[in-house]
Structures are given as C-alpha cells and as structure tokens.
C-alpha cells in the first residue's frame, strides 16, 4: 500500500498573489512602476485569480501603480489593501480595483501596543470598513491581522460581525509565521464552523512552514490561498506560489487556474525585477530542482526519470529543464551520453580516462562545465582545437564612467574573417558581452541563458570567476567558465569559450 491523500481531488483553489504588496515589502526591495506592470502582466499570463497590486494609501506612486495595473484590463481581478480607515478604502476605490482587502490587528499584543484600541473599538472599525467597501459594490476581503495569535473567542466574534456586515471572504493570516500544519488545520476547521463565507489564508515562512501551513489550511476547508512568486515577503517571506500550486496539482490532484508551464519563467522575471536571487536549492524553480550528479541517480534518471524524481512532477510541467551535472560523483553513463551528444566517439579505455579526469577536476571542488568536458575529451582523443576556434579574439576595449554610456569595442577573427564591433550597455560587462554576441552573423546567433559571477577572494583585486551558458536556436546549451582579475575580461573569455564550444558541438552534430 502506498499512502495517498485523495481528500482534495478535483477541489478548486483560488490563487491570490501578493508579490506586488507583501512581496514588495521584502526588506531591500522596491519596485518601479515599469517593473510592477511587467510583473502584473506576467501574473495574469500565469493565471492567478487575484493580484494584490499594492497599498494605495502608502504613497502617491503606489496609488498610481495600482491604478495603472487596474487599467491594464487583465483577466486577473485586482485587489488593493487598506487599513480599516475610510481614507485608505477610498484610496483603493479611487484606483478602480475589483476587490478591497481590509485588515486590522486583533491579537492583544498588536492591538494594545500598535493601534491602542479596545477589542470593542476594533470590531466597530472592522464592521464600518466592510460596510463602506460593500456600499461601493466591490468585493470585500477582511483580515484579522495576527489571527493565529488572537484569542479564538474574540476572533470568532469579529469574524461573525464582518460576515454580517457583508464581507465576501475572510482571510486568516499567520502574520508572524508561528503555526505548524496540525495547528493550522484545527484553526481553519474551527473557523469554518463559525462562519460560512469562503476562507483564505496568508502564511509567513518564519519557520519554513508557510507552504505546509497553507496546504493544511486548504485540507481543513480554506478555498483560497495567498502566495508570492519566489516566496518573497516580509522577513522570511510568504508561502511560495510555485510550491503551493504544484503540491495542490500533483500531490492532492486539486485544481487551480495556474498555467504551471510558466512557473519557471515567472520566477526568473521576478528575480530580475526585484534583484532577490533565489537559492540554488529552491524547490520547483531553483537551478538544482531537476539536476542530478551522482552516478546512481543519473543512471536511474537516464533510464527512467521517475526513478529519482517525484515522477508526478516533471521539469516540463513547470517550464524548467532537467540537468545532468558532471563532477566527482559522475557516472560513466552520464559522461558517455554527454560526450556522444557533442559528437565525440570514444573507446571504452578513452571513456574511462575521461571519467578519471572529470573526477579529478571535481575533487578540486569545481563543477565541470561543458567546455571542461570537451577540452578533456579532445586531449584524450589527441585532437587539438586551438587553431580551429570559431571566434579568435584579438582586442577588447571598454569605456565606462559616470558621464558616458558604457561602450565596448571588440576585434576578432570570426570563422576566419576579421570583424570589429562596438556596442553599448547598462554597464561594461553588458556592453562587452553584447559586442561579442554582435560578432556573430545570422545562423550562429546565441542567447545568453545564464550568467554567474563569483569573487574568489575578498579584496578589490579579487579573482572574478564567471560561468556563462549560451543556447542556440535549436535549444542546445553549452556552459563555460573563466577566471581573471578583470571582471570584463573574465566575462568575455567565458562567453567566447562557450560560443566556440557550442559551434564545435553544432559542427559535429
């Protein structure tokens, strides 16, 4: 017998995304209007039911952003946040939102020390806020802020009062992330017995349980869940949209309107807009989410992917890619496939020697790039490729500063023909990498799939190590690395390496 949970099979769950509100409150994050519009359009493409676009009373810029998002005419409903204060609600209504989400602190600790109101006053404020919202004909959601640290009898009292006042949805926020799934399950089940409006939940990740608490709330009867892209939000963040949705779809068999094949793309767009890098080990969308290195696992996955992956969830479902990483744990199988894919033919003895060298490199603590693998293979096969490089770089010069547009000029032999190209960019690296890409004619164009920069030591003379992956029109990806004291030169060298190796692979294919 294999354990399964069928209770939520085919249950529909509404996805309420708060990347643009709680997510923007991530310490250190501030989004410009352009970035907010990009994210809102992407959330709509992803299929979220409701976008919490911001807190209009917070600033004129915020109000303008919410207004412009509401005017985009998206399929997603647009929600604005307000305290239980008339001017906050009016600011939301001015933006022409579909829904107003109004909140007030109900836990003793927040009520006494932040808003300094009695329990009765808080109930009165909540009721009149809900009435004011409903008088204007928009959907109303109410949140008892810090609900999970609120006395349950008082929580019931305020929930019943706002339900009577016409509130459409009650959100149960775990504002400071202190729940565990079994507690969340009981709390939501108990609340569901006292009110009949749909329940929503908003879980924070202070103990790493935001997603688990959210799914427990849904098991207990909640029909809507608040999430953010990449788990952004205050402190340790909110429940991550991708994780929550993939658990709902693939473990419970529940349904949402999310088009999961856009999850990876959405994560990367939000990463770029916010500047908050996601961890390599992040579930679903992280670099390693579908990566395999050890011989046992890669052999298994190459035979049948569900041997060492969830199986019910695949990289294709979330718009990600499976990756076999070569390193000290590499197996013969994976190495053989990787070099055959690049068009090399080896004998068993040569393959064994290539594997040894890969493990030696891995033992030095470095992942083995495609360029490393090909260089090793060429050495073992006695092929010398230095003079056959597609791009043979001759000169690189870069100008940058506070009063000029960063500009790079590159001179190189490309397929034997001398070319000189200049390019501008947002910085010297961007300008130089763009110039190298511009050396390539139609038919050899590549797309920069990944760029990673690491400083190897501490000072301003630190060695910069750049790893670049390029992808051609057929989806072939090749990565290469270079390390130099000069960050521009390290970047250019890594890109030229990657392009030369990619051209070589194409030539063999």
What is the contact surface with Mn ion in residues (CB under 5 A)?
Answer: 22
Q: Give Dmax (Cα) for the chain.
A: 84
Q: For residue 169, give Cα distances in angstroms to 93, 94, 163, 195, 324.
A: 18, 21, 8, 10, 46
Instruction: Return the number of the residue (225 or 435) whose C-beta is nearest Mn ion.
Output: 225
Beta carbon nearer to Mn ion, 228 or 267 = 228
Residue 179 CB neighbour total at 10 angstroms: 29
Distances (CA, A) of 365 to 95, 127, 485: 54, 61, 20
Q: How far is the CB of 241 from Mn ion (least distance, A)?
A: 14
Instruction: Report which of 453, 427, 448, 452 is spatially closest to residue 436, judged by C-alpha positions.
Output: 448
CB of 276 to Mn ion, least distance (A): 16
In the chain, DSSP finds a helix count (H) and a strand count (E) of 16, 16
Shortest Cβ 200–Mn ion spacing (Å): 12
What is the smallest separation between the CB atom of 134 and Mn ion, expressed in angstroms? 24
Per-residue tokens: 19 = 């990347």
Nearer to Mn ion, 109 or 473 (CB): 109
Residue nearest to Mn ion (CB): 22
Residue with smaller CB distance to Mn ion, 12 or 207: 207
Nearer to Mn ion, 22 or 44 (CB): 22
Instruction: Let me know: does 49 contact 14? Beta carbons within 8 Å.
Output: yes
What spatial distance separates the first Cα and last Cα of the chain, rounded to whole Å? 47
Question: Given the complex with Mn ion, which of 55 and 374 has the nearer CB atom?
Answer: 55
The residue among 469, 462, 459, 457 whose CA lies nearest residue 495 is 469
Q: Specify the residue for token string 């300094």.
A: 116
Residue in 235, 239, 237, 242 with CA at minimum distance from that of residue 267: 242
Nearer to Mn ion, 52 or 465 (CB): 52
- Alpha carbon of 241 to those of 226, 285, 451: distances in Å? 8, 11, 25
Closest to Mn ion by CB, 203 vs 318, is: 203
Residue 103 or 252 having the CB closest to Mn ion: 103
The length of the chain, given as a count of residues: 509
Q: How far is the CB of 179 from Mn ion (least distance, A)?
A: 13
* Residue 18 Cβ vs Mn ion, minimum distance, rounded to whole Å: 7
22 or 219, CB closer to Mn ion? Answer: 22
Both tokens assigned to 326: 């070569």
SS3 172: strand
Closest CA to 494 of 370, 343, 365: 370
What is the DSSP secondary structure assignment for residue 255, as one 8-state letter?
A: B
Pairing of strands 391-399, 464-471: unpaired
State the CB neighbour count (10 A cutoff) for residue 189. 15
Q: Collect all residues with Cβ–Cβ distance below 8 Å to 352 and sequence separation of at least 6.
A: 332
> The sheet that has 391-399: what strands, in order across it?
391-399, 407-414, 417-424
């Amino acid at each position: 017998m294999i354990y399964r949970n069928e209770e939520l099979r085919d249950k529909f769950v509404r996805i309420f995304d708060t990347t643009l509100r709680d997510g923007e409150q991530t310490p250190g994050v501030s989004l410009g209007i352009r970035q907010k519009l990009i994210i809102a359009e992407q959330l709509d493409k992803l299929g979220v039911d409701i976008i919490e676009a911001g807190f209009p009373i917070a600033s004129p810029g915020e109000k303008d952003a919410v207004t412009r998002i509401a005017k985009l005419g998206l399929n997603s409903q647009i929600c604005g946040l307000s305290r239980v204060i008339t001017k906050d609600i009016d600011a939301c209504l001015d933006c022409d939102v579909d829904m107003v989400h109004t909140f007030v602190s109900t836990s003793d600790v927040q009520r006494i020390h932040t808003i300094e109101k009695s329990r009765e006053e808080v109930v009165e404020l909540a009721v009149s806020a809900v009435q004011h919202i409903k008088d204007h004909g928009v959907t109303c959601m109410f949140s008892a802020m810090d609900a999970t640290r609120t006395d349950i009898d008082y929580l019931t009292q305020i929930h019943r009062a706002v339900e009577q006042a016409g509130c459409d949805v009650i959100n149960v926020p775990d504002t400071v992330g202190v729940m565990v799934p079994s507690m969340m399950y009981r709390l939501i089940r108990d609340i569901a017995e006292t009110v009949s409006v749909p329940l929503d939940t908003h879980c924070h990740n202070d103990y790493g349980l935001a997603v688990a608490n959210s799914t427990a709330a849904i098991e207990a009867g909640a029909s809507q869940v608040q999430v953010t892209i990449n788990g952004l939000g205050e402190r340790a963040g909110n429940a991550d949209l991708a994780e929550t949705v993939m658990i709902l779809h693939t473990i419970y068999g529940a349904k949402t309107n999310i088009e999961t094949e856009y999850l990876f793309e959405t994560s990367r767009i939000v990463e770029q807009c916010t500047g908050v890098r996601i961890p390599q080990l992040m579930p679903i969308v992280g670099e390693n989410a579908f990566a395999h290195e050890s011989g046992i696992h890669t052999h298994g996955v190459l035979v049948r992917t569900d041997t060492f992956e969830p199986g019910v969830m695949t990289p294709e479902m979330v718009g990600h890619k499976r990756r076999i990483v070569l390193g000290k744990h590499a197996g013969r199988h994976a190495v053989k496939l990787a070099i055959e894919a690049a068009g090399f033919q080896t004998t068993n003895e040569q393959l064994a020697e290539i594997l040894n060298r890969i493990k030696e490199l891995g033992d030095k603590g470095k992942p083995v790039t495609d360029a490393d693998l090909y260089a090793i293979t060429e050495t073992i096969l006695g092929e010398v490729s230095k003079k056959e490089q597609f791009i043979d770089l001759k000169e690189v010069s870069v100008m940058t500063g506070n009063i000029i547009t960063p500009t790079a000029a590159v001179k190189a032999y490309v397929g034997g023909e001398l070319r000189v190209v200049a390019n501008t960019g947002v910085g010297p690296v961007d300008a130089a990498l763009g110039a190298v890409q511009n050396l390539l004619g139609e038919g050899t164009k590549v797309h920069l799939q990944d760029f990673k920069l690491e400083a190897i030591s501490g000072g301003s003379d630190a060695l910069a190590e750049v790893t670049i992956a390029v992808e051609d029109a057929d989806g072939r990806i090749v990565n290469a690395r270079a390390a130099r004291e000069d960050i521009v030169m390290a970047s250019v060298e890594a890109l030229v390496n990657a392009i030369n190796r990619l051209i070589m692979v194409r030539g063999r294919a």
